[in-house]
């Protein structure tokens, strides 16, 4: 029945070592695709790039998101009916986390214009928000955990990008407590994602699992977003007749306004917005936290990054300048390799199909998959494969990504062996936007502060699994401001 595996995973999760616990099975068995039994349910796990390319790209139509869209994500990110433990999913097919097939393509089609280069190369909104946010970072050398500050910053970025309003404006319009409720709701959603099947069987005892608080969080979040959706729909109805194609194309793209143009379904609009808010906010904040945790532990990384930043002459960077900062980009790539923000994922087979490798005595033969079979993968484990990344795969070495013209050595290019933003039909549309936010924030902080000191005695990064994966210890640091700095 796989009780040992089940309890082992529970123990590892609560001890913040689930990722390494899962990865060790591949090492101990000396395989890259294996079968796991958890409470009688058979699961296949793989860390083979060929298999992931097949699932995500070559045979993407054979695979879907499975049960998660029917239960766990529904109360907060879907239509809200899951609050009453209803199992009807007819109205749930909204949002990038919960849709397959044509519904997914439709959601991505509405989202795609939000992430064209034109939409995020104007850094004026980023700079304005950074200036306001950075005033709360201590300048006296006291200890600060940057993790919480990064989450506040990224939700501010996302709110303006998606709703066209600041977090402060949302609070003034009745959204006070929105950020806390959104955080708490996500925590419970992840809990349902892991244990929802068993909790639903015990639904009379739902209050023991924080269900009442979860319902309050969902209602607060939905109430504010519904209010914004209603306003956007009313504005679109009033102005549609006067708008011509020329005037609308000159306006800055706001996702909510575009939703109002494309759908009359208010529940769909709310769900699309919340799905994108989760994706845009959490991944960016998690990556920023990991980057600054590593910078605080490695003076050599800090010094090299500062040397590159100083070439900007203390001025805010442009989009082109960020792209030319090779060490900064390598730093981000290495952070995403060793500590991917979404370290595990899975798909469910929609029909009988095959994976190119995983069967046979040496694991090199095609593997038959039957309809309904779930295949999971671990980027955490795959990104540590020594045959892909070298004997030092466990080490944090940004230079592995850099070209060395003097020696002719090319930087690492692992293809489908490196998937921090997924791949194929469901590749992250906002990856460049997220990397731009992280790059810009990191450079501007380096321009404000000349020194960094870790204030956390724990040397190693340790996982905290949520919707994304965050360093358990955050990024507790002391920052030394520059003696003379450009007035913000």
Q: What is the DSSP string of 126-172?
A: HHHHHHHHHTTS-SSS--EEHHHHHHHHHHHHHHHHHHSS-HHHHII
Q: Give the per-residue pLDDT at 388.
A: 95
Residue 395 is given by DSSP the state: S
Q: What is the pLDDT of residues 219-275, one digit of tens each?
A: 888 988 888 888 888 887 766 555 554 444 445 667 788 788 877 888 888 888 888
Q: What is the DSSP string of 265-311?
A: -HHHHHHHHHHHHHHHHHHHHHHHHHHHHHHHH-HHHHHHHHHHHGG
Residue 91, domain CATH: 1.10.630.10
Q: Give the per-residue pLDDT at 27.
A: 93
- 290: in domain: yes
Residue pair 357/51 in contact by the 8 Å Cβ criterion: yes
What is the Cα–Cα distance from 293 to 393, expressed in whole angstroms? 19
For residue 171, pLDDT beyond 80: no
- 306: in domain: yes
**CA 66-69-74 angle, 5° bins:** 160
The answer to whether the Cα torsion of 129, 487, 314, 321 is positive or negative is positive
For residue 168, pLDDT beyond 80: no
Rg (C-alpha) for the chain, rounded Å, is: 23
- 487: in domain: no
Q: What is the pLDDT of residues 94-134, one digit of tens each?
A: 566 666 776 777 677 766 766 777 767 788 888 989 999 99
What is the Cα–Cα distance from 74 to 302, expressed in whole angstroms? 42
Residue pair 35/160 in contact by the 8 Å Cβ criterion: no
- Reference 214, options 187, 179, 253, 237; nearest CA is 187
Domain count, the chain: 1
**CA 457-461-463 angle, 5° bins:** 125
Q: What is the pLDDT of residues 49-70, one digit of tens each?
A: 999 999 999 999 999 887 665 5
For residue 302, pLDDT beyond 70: yes
- 175: in domain: yes
Determine whether 459 is exposed, middle or buried from the number of CB atoms within 10 Å of its CB (0-12, 13-18, 19+): exposed
- 488: in domain: no
380 pLDDT tier (thresholds 50, 70, 90): very high
Pull the structure tokens for residue 183: 């955080």
> What share of the chain has pLDDT > 70, as a percent?
84
Q: Give the per-residue pLDDT at 201.
A: 47
- 181: in domain: yes
- 444: in domain: yes
Q: What is the pLDDT of residues 431-484, one digit of tens each?
A: 888 999 999 999 999 999 999 999 988 889 999 988 789 999 999 999 999 876
- 486: in domain: no
Q: Which domain holds residue 295?
A: 3-481
């Amino acid at each position: 029945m796989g009780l040992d595996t089940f309890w082992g995973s529970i123990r590892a999760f609560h001890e913040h070592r689930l990722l390494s616990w899962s990865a060790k099975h591949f090492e101990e068995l000396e395989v890259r695709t294996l079968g796991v039994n958890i409470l009688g349910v058979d699961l296949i796990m793989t860390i083979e790039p060929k298999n992931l390319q097949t699932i995500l790209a070559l045979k993407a139509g054979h695979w879907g998101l499975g049960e998660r869209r029917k239960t766990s994500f529904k109360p907060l990110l879907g239509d809200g009916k899951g609050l009453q433990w209803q199992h009807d999913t007819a109205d749930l097919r909204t949002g990038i986390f919960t849709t397959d097939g044509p519904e997914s393509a439709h959601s991505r089609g509405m989202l795609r214009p939000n992430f064209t280069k034109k939409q995020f190369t104007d850094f004026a909104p980023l700079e304005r928000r950074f200036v306001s946010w950075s005033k709360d970072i201590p300048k006296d050398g006291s200890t600060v955990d940057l993790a919480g500050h990064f989450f506040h910053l990224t939700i501010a970025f996302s709110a303006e990008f998606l709703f066209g309003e600041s977090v402060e404006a949302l609070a003034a319009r009745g959204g006070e407590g929105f950020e806390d409720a959104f955080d708490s709701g996500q925590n419970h959603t992840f809990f349902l994602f892991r244990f929802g099947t068993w909790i639903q069987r015990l639904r009379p005892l739902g209050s023991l699992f924080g269900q009442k608080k979860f319902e309050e969080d969902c209602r607060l979040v939905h109430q504010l977003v519904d209010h914004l959706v209603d306003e956007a729909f009313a504005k679109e109805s009033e102005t549609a007749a006067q708008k011509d194609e020329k005037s609308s194309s000159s306006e800055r793209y706001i996702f909510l306004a575009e939703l109002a143009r494309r759908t009359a379904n208010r529940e769909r609009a709310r769900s699309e917005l919340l799905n994108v808010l989760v994706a845009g906010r959490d991944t960016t904040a998690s990556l920023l936290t990991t980057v600054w945790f590593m910078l605080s532990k490695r003076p050599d990384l800090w010094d090299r990054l500062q040397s590159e930043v100083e070439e900007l002459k203390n001025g805010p960077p442009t989009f082109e300048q960020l792209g030319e900062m090779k060490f900064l980009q390598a730093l981000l790539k290495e952070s995403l390799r060793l500590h991917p923000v979404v370290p595990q994922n899975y798909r469910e087979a929609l029909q009988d199909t095959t994976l190119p490798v995983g069967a046979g005595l040496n694991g090199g033969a095609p593997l038959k998959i039957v309809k309904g079979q779930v295949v999971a993968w671990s980027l955490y484990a795959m990104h540590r494969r020594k045959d892909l990344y070298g004997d030092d795969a466990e080490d944090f070495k940004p230079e592995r990504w850099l070209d060395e013209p003097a020696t002719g050595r090319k930087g690492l290019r692992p293809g489908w062996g490196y998937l921090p933003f997924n791949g194929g039909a469901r590749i992250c549309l906002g990856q460049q936007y997220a990397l731009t936010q992280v790059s810009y924030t990191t450079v501007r902080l380096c321009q404000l502060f000349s020194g960094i000191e870790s204030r956390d005695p724990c040397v190693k990064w340790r996982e905290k699994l949520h919707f994304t994966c965050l360093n358990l210890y955050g990024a507790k640091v002391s920052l030394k401001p520059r003696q003379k700095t450009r007035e913000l």
